[in-house]
Amino acid sequence: MKHGKRSFIIIIIYGLFVAFSFILDFHPGREIGSNFGDFTLTMLRIVPAAFIVISLFEVWVKRETVEKHLGTGSGPLAYFWAVLLSSTTVGGIYVAFPLSYTLYKKGARLSVIFTYLSSAAITRIPMSIFEASLLGIKFTAIRFMVSLPLVILVSILLEKYLLRRGFTMSHPDKLPASTAK
Amino acid sequence: MNEAYLLWATTGIGLIVSVAASRQKTVKALRIALKRLIGIAPQFLIMILLVSIILYFVSDEMIAHYLGKENKYTAVIFASLIGSITLIPGFIAFPLAGLLLSRGVLYMVLAAFTTTLMMVGVVTYPIEKAYLGTRTTILRNGLSLLIALAVAAVIGIAYGEIP
């Protein structure tokens, strides 16, 4: 685990830097430390709940259901479901990755997964309402109308390319594959 | 943080319904959640670490400076670069964009900024890589950058900023 070791070293160095910044009252280091605290709290407010919801989805939603609506046999409506699902994403795209992994294990096709992932970044409902109220509805409407068709197009092309390369999605844990059922 | 309350409420209701239906399956779900969370925690930690450093260097004044560049195309390029490398929560980014708009920053520059902010993730790279691998992550983000630039271009035309 060469990579894991590197991450570990980076985290240790960072921790020491911040700790010494507080001891020596080094302003930039203190500010970075407090940024870290703020953002960690934001993450803790969202991420654990998101993982629980995703796991409930994984346990309760049947593989056949996902395959039928989001799998290779599904029609264009699958992209609509992907966009609709993405609009309910809370937090950020970092929450969309674990769900996309569950969808992948349940048999959703890659183009639908990529559509979900990319539109999770652009269609989140609270964020879009906020944006429209500050920059205008026209602004948000154009953003949607231009980006969504492109996202779907790119996702389809990406699927074609990746299937040729034998792409598989993974997760950094040692969970037995049996839980996919 | 209303979003978070809504999410926890949904989680709570989901758990109650799940326990009522099957205790066993609920326990299984919670075990999966915990395992996954622990599995991806180092990548999340790296992301938080990157964000904390970048937020120190990227201030509101700096964003205002680069997005307000005389040459509008240079401003779009800077806007998309800053948007790509930072991860600013929406409740900070949009008010900032609104403020910049009132200061005369162009719509297309703001579009490049907010769209890359949402779609292109340099700091989420460690997390995305864990799920999708290096090549796919780079490819997906590169394509997202192009989509963001397309959005900026159409916004520019729609608001009469590109002749």
Q: pLDDT per residue over A80-89, tens digit each?
A: 999 999 998 8
**pLDDT digits 0-9 by tens, A37-70:** 999 998 899 999 999 999 999 999 999 999 999 9
* CA A55 from centre of chain: 15
Output the pLDDT for position A181. 33
Q: Are A69 and A78 in contact (CB under 8 A)?
A: yes
Contact residues, chain B, for A172 at CB < 8 Å: 39-40, 42-43, 130
Output the pLDDT for position A171. 79
Whether pTM > 0.95 for this model: the answer is no
Output the pLDDT for position B92. 81
Q: Torsion angle of alpha carbons B151, B156, B157, B161, nearest 10°?
A: 180
Output the pLDDT for position A177. 42
**pLDDT digits 0-9 by tens, A94-134:** 899 999 999 999 999 999 999 999 999 888 888 899 899 99
Residue contact A142–B155, C-beta within 8 A: yes
Output the pLDDT for position A150. 97
Output the pLDDT for position B1. 54
Q: What percent of chain A has pLDDT over 90?
A: 71
Q: Are A45 and B11 in contact (CB under 8 A)?
A: no
Residues listed for chain B = 163
Output the pLDDT for position A173. 64
Kindly report which listed range (A70-74, A153-157, B110-114) carries the lowest average pLDDT score.
A70-74
Residue contact A122–B95, C-beta within 8 A: no
Report CA-CA distances (Å) from B73 to A82, B65, B66, B109, B156.
34, 14, 11, 8, 10
Output the pLDDT for position B3. 78
Q: Are A113 and A104 in contact (CB under 8 A)?
A: yes
Q: Torsion angle of alpha carbons A151, A147, B79, B49, nearest 10°?
A: -50
**pLDDT digits 0-9 by tens, A158-175:** 999 999 998 888 877 644
Q: How far is residue B73's CA from residue B89's CA, in Å, rounded to a whole number?
A: 25
3-state DSSP of chain B: CHHHHHHHHHHHHHHHHHHHHCHHHHHHHHHHHHHHHHHHHHHHHHHHHHHHHHHHHCCHHHHHHHHCCCCHHHHHHHHHHHHHHCCCCHHHHHHHHHHHHHCCCCHHHHHHHHHHHHHCCCCCHHHHHHHHCHHHHHHHHHHHHHHHHHHHHHHHHHCCCCC
Residue contact A171–B39, C-beta within 8 A: yes
ipTM: 0.90
Tell me which chain B residue has its CA closest to the CA of residue A90: B3
Query: What are the residue ranges spanned by the domains of chain A?
Result: 1-53, 61-180
Low-confidence ranges of chain B (pLDDT < 50): none
Output the pLDDT for position A2. 53
Residue contact A90–B6, C-beta within 8 A: yes
Residue contact A92–B87, C-beta within 8 A: yes
Output the pLDDT for position A3. 61
Tell me which chain A residue has its CA closest to the CA of residue B98: A134
- Tally of CB atoms within 10 A around B149: 18
Contact residues, chain B, for A91 at CB < 8 Å: 3, 7
What average pLDDT does chain A have? 89
**B152 residue type, one letter:** A
pLDDT band per the 50, 70, 90 thresholds, residue A34: very high
Closest residue by Cα to residue B44 from A102, A33, A44, A100: A44
Q: How far is residue B75's CA from residue B148's CA, in Å, rounded to a whole number?
A: 14
Output the pLDDT for position B146. 96
Q: How far is residue A85's CA from residue A98's CA, in Å, rounded to a whole number?
A: 14
Output the pLDDT for position A27. 92
Output the pLDDT for position A136. 93
